[in-house]
Chain A
Amino acid sequence: MTDLLEVRDLTVHFDTEDGLVEAVDGVTFTVSAGEILGVVGESGSGKSVTALALLRLIRPPGRIVQGAVRFEGTDLVGLSEDEMRAVRGTRIAMVFQSPRTALNPVLTVGRQISRLFELHQGASRAEGRARTIEMLKLVGISEPERRARQYAHQLSGGMCQRVMIAMALATSPRLLLADEPTTGLDVSIAAQILDLLRDLGRRTGASILLITHDLGVVAEVCDRVAVMHAGQIVEVGAVRAIFARPRHPYTQALVRSIPRIDREGTMEPIPGTVPSLLAPPPGCRYADRCPRVLDVCRRDRPALRASTPNHDVACHAVEVEDATARG
């Protein structure tokens, strides 16, 4: 499978009043054509910032310090703002959290979608309207003609999210970034939205980068998953592999801290707190919370290396374990 998106060593810093915040630090991952990659982590782990960086939506005091974002062969970091604008919304689209507030409150939802057709595809008003109705049907909105004439505040949360997805997919993008698309939605509506995303991804062949804090969502919908902690990717690989045998201590702790509906058993909270990104410790950022911490962990930052095929881990302890197992 060809790599649609290749992110290498992406680093984003924020120059705040309190100092330099290293929000995203050396993040490397790929997204293949047609696959759904989940990016999971706590709040403050840098997952949203990473998505915004892909679209070059980081504004001062934040800036992309280094890294390459190769999308369909072109490095997005080097593009001019005009060139980037041609990519945003057409080749790469984004769906945000809180759908109702992300929609323009003074335009009808139909108008918001049809404008995209007029803008990006040179469609006439009538053509735009027709395609809008098609899109609304595609995302499962009943009575699309009536809904198109309504405003965001008249629609339910689930419906607003469908509209957002319609807007994102209007221009048939190759990559869809979805930032916590189901957070705040009711469970049954969230399930429907996830089904919709999975379905549409398959149908259009678009890849999806799904950002979430919910491991259940990842297991349900994603093909591969990247686990982020304090601005770094600590583990990445096929969903099956990671859930069956999480290797990084953070991933293991994360899985253990979730109350389960399908099994009995206790929950263990993750010890300690996320380190401040203002003056992050050298070496591994999980060191202070890790039950398997070694001396080297506090000195050297562990590199992301392949532990088993399609399963990369950034951990010294795991490296030692693997070496012993091999030798």
Chain B
Amino acid sequence: MPRLAVEGLVKHFPLGGPREWVDRVRGRVPKAVRAVDGVSFAVEPGETLGLVGESGCGKSTVARLILRLVEPTRGDVRFGDVNLTALAGEPLRRQRRDLQMVFQDPTASLNPRLSVRRAVEEPLRRHGTLGPAERRERAAQVLARVGLGRELLDRYPHELSGGQRQRVNIARAIATEPHFVVLDEPTSALDVSLRAKAILLLAELRATLGMSYLFISHDLATVKYLAGRVAVMYLGTIVEEAPTPELFARPLHPYTQALLSAVPVPDPDVRRTRLVLAGEVPSPIDIPRGCRLRGRCPLAQPVCAEPVTLREVAPAHRVACHLV
């Protein structure tokens, strides 16, 4: 049974205002920002699924939907054998012990008024039965796990460096030894030399604590390193999903190909052919009918005006493209 399974997840943000009211009265579907428009995937125990895409594709919204920071418009999130979307209040809160998140901005996600100790102890407080002394000891242990010394317990976030802050974030997320951690761009705000350390730390923690990850990032190279499978998102849906080596070696969807060909490689002798997409990403309010890449894809055919579904074209390799 997958550790986390997402089915038909949809999130539309209504535009509101008088236009919405008028549309409803006239029986029309009101316009909305279709941030997530039908996403399904599953993550097995111990697995890491990478979710990649550019800004506006909806990957961060997917993370927030899974964590129920935002309510889905439709769709299910299953955590183990529990239907998370059917829960609310206290039962939902209790599930948080095993489902945690590391946020993107290491500074903004730490309460500036809380010491490191209080920040890391908090999940233990909310979910556990440990006494104060045991909690303190546990916090020190968790800090040690992420490579930070005990002396940082009484410091405040503004006294730490960016790399240290992100480690505190990670420590807080793993304090209760959750089964599943959603990582939302955990290394994007870090300096390039600190990224390697952070990634290796995440890999090591995964091994020692047996966690599964949903690793969301726009940095394809990092995803390649950490994820066993990768799903590529565009305009609110998944357009391709495959095991990592397969995706990077044989990308089938034109968007994936364009994305991969645009990543700069630190080797001046490598000259790849770039698949260039015309224009810019359309607004998620006015999504074109049929294939979402239609207006920009150099390979577009008349058939692309028909809606396209994500289907398996090779073992464990799904693509949403008519031409594959």
A→B interface (CB under 8 Å): 42-43, 142, 156-159, 186-191, 194, 213-220, 239-240, 243, 254-255, 257-262, 267-270
Contact = CB atoms under 8 A, between A and B. Distances in A.
Nearest to B161: A273
A228 B153 CA distance: 34
Nearest to B270: A262
A106 B193 CA distance: 37
B268 A259 contact: no
A257 B268 contact: no
B297 to A, nearest CB: 13
Contacts of A239: 268
18 contacts: A42-B191, A43-B191, A158-B280, A187-B218, A187-B220, A187-B263, A188-B259, A188-B277, A189-B54, A191-B262, A214-B264, A220-B265, A243-B266, A257-B195, A257-B196, A259-B222, A267-B199, A267-B200
B236 to A, nearest CB: 16
Contacts of A257: 192-193, 195-196
A114 to B, nearest CB: 24
Nearest to B277: A188
A216 B270 CA distance: 11
A262 B274 CA distance: 14
A244 B221 CA distance: 20
Given A186-B55, A261-B221, 13 more contacts: A158-B280, A187-B220, A187-B262, A190-B264, A213-B192, A216-B265, A240-B268, A254-B193, A257-B195, A258-B196, A261-B220, A261-B224, A262-B265
A44 B269 CA distance: 29
Interface in B136-189: none
Contact of B264 (A142, A157, A191, A240): A191
A222 B222 CA distance: 23
A212 to B, nearest CB: 9
Interface in B236-251: 248
A202 B269 CA distance: 20
A156 B277 CA distance: 16
Contacts of B262: 187-188, 190-191
B264 A217 contact: yes
Contacts of A269: 193-194, 196-197, 200
A259 B264 contact: no
Interface in B255-273: 258-260, 262-270
Nearest to A270: B193
B225 interface: yes
